[in-house]
Structure 1
């Protein structure tokens, strides 16, 4: 009797990049909006409950879109960028560069540019990391530990966006070294699961306010 064949492991494991601050902000905003809107639905008179429901249907999908939804998934074959209203999938062979300046951006060989909403750039965090690096250099002015310094330690002290972009560049370089023709093709999909309820809620809200 032969033993059952174990399920095959995925050929490419994803690394996920998301903003912890964005997730926390999204959860808090949903709780706050749900509390205010729910109170209006339960306690409101006349058209107020319906207006509150329409407002919730409009606002909550937008909060989800801009805080909980953004994510970047990368493996040795492709990068998948999940932005508020679109999901972009690109093989690394189509990517020409990544940078984090005032926002995190990806550039393609065809000249297109996509913003990485899941990797926000915080100038305050970047300045804080730079001040810390300056203090450490001042504490060790002769660079006595530089020979044995771990590059990973230096990267860990950088701002979140700079660390994420550095990691993505590393994945892209590794993919280039082991370049094989993969099955991934470039694609773009609109997030209708977010757009549709927000649009319906906005139309209902306008109608209710107009007749109210």
Structure 2
């Protein structure tokens, strides 16, 4: 398991200085079918390590997957982010309780204002769903799976994905559909994902995953 470390960071929106904790690496023993890392130890420990992929300001709730020092926000971006964070319904309800998925939600809210690619927004929501699963928050797991699915589908239309990123994103649309109960839709997307790999040996692992999950979806659709 990765050794946690910490550093003082400055929020690029409100200027608050705080200590952020993160793990640069962690040991895995494989991945689940939606690419969630399988981390030795208690599920809550794994959730904590995944959560460290984002940093959230404890004062204004600005959050991002990038290092705060690397962000250079314009005045308009800061203002837009502040307004989005103030008006966000989930943050209003859950800011004080700080559920484990909140940082990813806040990062998605801020990412929309920062015009992040749909692929990146989908990745934030996918990671949030992983945390929810490990923390046994099933309703929110489904919520974030659906949000990730929508972002990934938009990404396939807008982001000009190529190569491995295209294949993995297409596969994830299928897998998230399957997990949400849309088994026949999932089968169509698995077929699409298989077409994008074109026998590339670098993604042979993905071909195997597509075959396995396609069989499962067919059984579930029967």
TM-score class normalised by the smaller sequence: under 0.3
Q: Which has the higher helix share?
A: 2
Which gives a bigger RCO, structure 1 or 2 (Cα 8 Å, sep 6+)? 1
Larger radius of gyration: 1
Instruction: From the two aligned structures, give the one with the greater strand fraction.
Output: 1
